[in-house]
Amino acid sequence: MKSLSLFTILFLCLAILLVDILVFYWLQSIIQFIGSSLLKTIIYVLFWVFTVGLITSIIVLKVTLDDINPIRRYLIISKFYGLAISSFVPKLIFGVILSILYITNYLFSKNESLIIVPLIGLLSGFLPFFIILYGIFKAVYKFKVYHHVIFSRILPKSFNGLKIVQLSDLHLGSFNYGYDKLERAIKKINHLQPDYIMITGDLVNNYAWELRGWNTVFNKLCAKKGKFAILGNHDYGDYSQWDSQEAKQENLDAIKQFYVDIGFKILLNESQIISKNNEQIAIIGVENWGKPPFKQYGDLQQAIKGVKSIPFKILLSHDPTHWSEKVIDKTDITLTFAGHTHGMQAAFQYKNLQWSPIKYKFKHWAGLYKHNQQYLYVNRGLGWLGFPARIGMRPEITFLELRTN
């Protein structure tokens, strides 16, 4: 997680203060119906004690952040993200809606305004608050299997019905060694009886020490034919300060070794040929490649060098931007697996309709995409980063079946 500057922190605190001033103004119009002066005073005091306490804590945390143990630091930051967002967003919606209702007050009679406006205001504040609480305490570990079938006329018949489970963006540091939480996902995965399991990067937030004890959990993953993995942008340690380049490299090497220890073949700009009944497919893995400021470690041409003659190719590439920039219309790779976006961990989804603010940054951000006969699947992520919640964007286990036409 990137560290925010003191100026940015102060600006965010000012935004919190301004929103709370607006909310307090409208809150008084609702509190007026309470007859007890003592109860009104208690509500007002609690309101401002929370606001001042939150802003003070954020500033103090920023000033003292570097002196805090890295594990404890990350957990504290995540909790404050959750607290700040669960407070700020409902208040912002509450203040904006009441302001709009006030401006358009001519739509209601005076008597209607006394009842309708406060009622709508309360609902506009409490509803988002409870949705966010559900996202923090329930949905964040409510793993969902997304099942898709892809048909391809160039898939060798020997591989018809091939079952692949994709995982991405586990960010194990965010689980705070809560092994039992992820074991729920392991059970779902094993129930699917996949031929291959593929992890498309961001195993950790930053550090190899986040992996302590997780080998026992991941060794329970069962795949009939093999397991593959690539690195994501967070796996390189680029968002942390290191005493030396050697220390950073040791961290990266430890993450690679973890994959080896749990039975995964890690593909670093390389490929693996899978054979069955004298027919072949290729699994290709590239290192992280994204548009700046994301690093471009990936070398697709190097990765496909030995498999160009194999018609059906599967690519693992962490950032979905790589597909549109380097894969479609430039290669004959049939299927690409990616992750990275998390679906912003917040979206509106209903049947085939889905929307998230992340779509304005990433053209391909969640689910299955097709361009001519080339496919991209963007996993919504199994873990979380920063904001400790998932709102309308449950953690994903991708289950994809390949079939011949």
Does 107 score more than 60 pLDDT?
Answer: no
Secondary structure (DSSP) of 289-328 = B-STTS-B---HHHHTTTTTT-S-EEEE-SSTHHIIIIIT
* Overall average pLDDT of the 37-41 stretch: 89
- Residue 1 pLDDT class (50, 70, 90 cuts): very low
Q: pLDDT by residue (tens digit) across 245-257?
A: 999 999 999 999 9
pLDDT digits (tens, 9 = 90+) for 377-398: 999 999 999 889 999 999 999 9
177-215 tens-digit pLDDT: 999 999 999 999 999 999 999 999 999 999 999 999 999
pLDDT at 105 over 70: no
pTM (predicted TM-score): 0.86
* pLDDT at site 3: 59
Query: Domain 143-404 sits in which CATH superfamily?
Result: Metallo-dependent phosphatases (3.60.21.10)
d(CA 336, CA 283): 10
Least confident residue range of 114-118, 321-325, 344-348: 114-118
Identify the burial level of 5 via C-beta atoms within 10 angstroms of its C-beta, where 0-12 means exposed, 13-18 middle and 19 or more buried. Answer: exposed
Angle, vertex CA 312, rays to CA 296 and CA 298, nearest 5: 5
Convert the pLDDT of each residue in 228-239 to its tens digit.
999 999 999 999
Q: Where are the domains of the chain?
A: 6-137, 143-404
Question: What tokens were used for 400?
Answer: 């994809």
Question: Is residue 341 pLDDT above 70, yes or no?
Answer: yes
- Which comes out higher in pLDDT, residue 116 or 109? 116
291 or 109, which is more confident: 291
